[in-house]
């Protein structure tokens, strides 16, 4: 019996949590039906390490940017720098970037400046912008909306766990919402209700591993294979069987991350 194919649209395979068994983690993901993974670089100085993982493993693609919680600690990225990185055949997205006022509100100004650089790079390259948002809904909606009206771009709200209002704003721009393990937590009923109101053709699934493991692995190290658990909950939210939901979210990924969909390994 063939296992339905799904995609982990956001993970962090370069993190030390995976150093001892990175190849085995990727093998387990593939065995669980996760045919592709996008590993995210959160500090541009670490891009060579993340790129090397994508080069070493056929199922792995990558994106790079400056995480908002690191924005005050890292040099401000430039649009030209991100455009140059985007020339790599397995570089498929810009980010993650965004705003985080829960942990790092004191650096709000530099976070906003950094976010605008990443938006400009997405606008110029045509690659999707990968957004982190926490406790900053109003500013996020304003910045994304203003930039989109100036020049449209593609975007995914990674690990979406924000308000219904921000979800509606994102969807109105044609953006995507990504379900992480948070959506599978028993107490996340309100979040699941927000997802249920979205078009299924705007939904992705992810792990954000090594964080946010879904049940039955909550509290343990997350890994891309566990995408299947979140996708099972997603299928229930949308009233679909697992195979249908897996196929739909994979098609959504291919539409948004068209560069990954078009990539073929060298013989």
Annotated binding site for a divalent metal cation: 10, 12, 96, 132, 158, 208
3-class DSSP state of 267: coil
Whether the CB-CB separation of 102 and 130 falls below 8 Å is answered with no
Question: From CA 133, how far away is CA 24, in angstroms rounded?
Answer: 31
Count of residues for the chain?
267
Question: Residues at the annotated binding site?
Answer: 10, 12, 96, 132, 158, 208
- Nearest of 118, 80, 95, 79 to residue 40 by alpha carbon: 95
Q: List the structure tokens of 155.
A: 């975007």
Distance CA 180, CA 201 (A): 16
- Contact between 169 and 141 (Cβ < 8 Å): yes
DSSP secondary structure letters along 231-255: HHHHHHHTT--HHHHHHHHHHHHHH
């Amino acid at each position: 019996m063939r296992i339905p194919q799904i995609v982990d649209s956001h993970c962090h395979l370069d993190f030390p949590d995976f150093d001892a068994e990175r190849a085995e983690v990727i093998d387990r993901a593939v065995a669980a039906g996760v045919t592709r993974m996008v590993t995210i670089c959160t500090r541009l100085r670490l891009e060579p390490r993340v790129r090397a993982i994508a080069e070493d493993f056929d199922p792995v693609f990558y994106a790079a940017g400056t995480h908002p919680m690191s924005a005050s600690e890292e040099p401000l990225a430039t649009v030209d720098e991100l455009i140059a990185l985007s020339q790599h055949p397995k570089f498929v997205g810009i980010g993650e970037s965004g705003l985080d006022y829960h942990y790092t509100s004191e650096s709000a100004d530099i976070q906003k400046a950094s976010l605008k650089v990443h938006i400009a790079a997405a606008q110029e390259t045509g690659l999707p912008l990968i957004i982190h948002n926490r406790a900053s809904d109003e500013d996020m909606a304003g910045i994304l909306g203003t930039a989109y009206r100036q020049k449209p771009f593609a975007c995914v709200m990674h690990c979406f766990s924000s308000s219904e209002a921000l979800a509606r704003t994102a969807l109105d721009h044609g953006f995507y919402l990504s379900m992480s393990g948070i959506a599978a937590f028993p107490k996340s009923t309100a979040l699941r209700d927000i997802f249920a109101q979205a078009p299924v053709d705007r939904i992705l699934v992810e792990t954000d591993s090594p964080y946010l493991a879904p049940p039955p692995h909550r509290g343990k190290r997350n890994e891309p294979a566990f995408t299947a658990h979140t996708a099972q909950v997603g299928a229930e939210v949308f009233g679909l069987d697992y195979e249908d939901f897996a196929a739909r979210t994979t098609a959504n990924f291919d539409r948004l991350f068209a560069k990954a969909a078009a990539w073929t390994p060298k013989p």
